[in-house]
Amino acid sequence: MVLANKLNIASQVELNRAEEKLSKQKAKQLFESGDIDKVDVGTFAGLAYVHAYLFDEVYAFAGQVRDVNLAKGNFRFAPVMYLQASLAHISAMPQQSFEQIIEKYVEMNVAHPFREGNGRATRIWLDLMLKKEIRQVIDWNAVDKAEYLSAMERSVVKDLEIKYLLKSALTDQINDRELYMKGIDVSYYYEGYSEYRVEDL
């Protein structure tokens, strides 16, 4: 079933293309307009701002906490009835060190607060925490898709693997426009979206 969308698209393939194009344009705008500096770093409110910014033209639920239970394969994300409490807890988690930031990121992934677009919004949120707290960001080009996805899957039980993977991809080029744009492309590629390059939009 195709998700209800503002574009009234009934084909999943068409919706994927439109969503990729529109939200990548917005990801580019987020950086170039300076709106990215308005994000409340490390809080759910900050993540909701990023999510709404990216997906507002596509989904009415952009930036809104989901009201349905979600699962991926055999893994169930946080049940709706515990979601608000979980998000308040995550917002309050410490974020002073790389380890704390990744632990917070892993918890937010388990919460999976939105109906769609969680990974893409949360990776921007993660980089903003790293930038603010330790003056580094991830060069997503240096993170293999299969390794990342399997490390994230296992991070629920043990986060050593994802910490190792992301730590080895850190860079101090925190304001590099090209690094950000390429990172958006890679982030979308992880989720199966690779029709458009941000720079071409």
Look at residue 73 and tell me whether its pLDDT is greater than 90: no
Tokens linked to 174 = 């925190």
**Neighbouring C-beta atoms of residue 51, cutoff 10 Å:** 28
* Residue-wise pLDDT tens digits, 116-131: 999 999 999 999 999 9
β-bridge mates for residue 170, sequence order: 138
3-state secondary structure of 102: helix
Residue indicated by tokens 């989901």:
66
> Taking Cα atoms as reference points, which of 27, 30, 41, 29 lies closest to residue 135?
41
Residue spans per domain, the chain: 12-195
Which pLDDT score is estimated for 72? 85
Sign of the dihedral defined by the CA atoms of residues 172, 176, 179, 184, in that order: positive
Which pLDDT score is estimated for 33? 97
Residues of the chain with pLDDT > 90, as a percent, come to 96
**Neighbouring C-beta atoms of residue 187, cutoff 10 Å:** 23
12-195 has which fold?
Answer: Fic-like fold (1.10.3290)
* pTM, rounded to two decimals: 0.96
3-state secondary structure of 171: strand
Which pLDDT score is estimated for 100? 98
Give Dmax over CA atoms of the chain in angstroms: 45
Look at residue 74 and tell me whether its pLDDT is greater than 90: no
Give the H/E segment covering residue 45.
Answer: helix 44-55
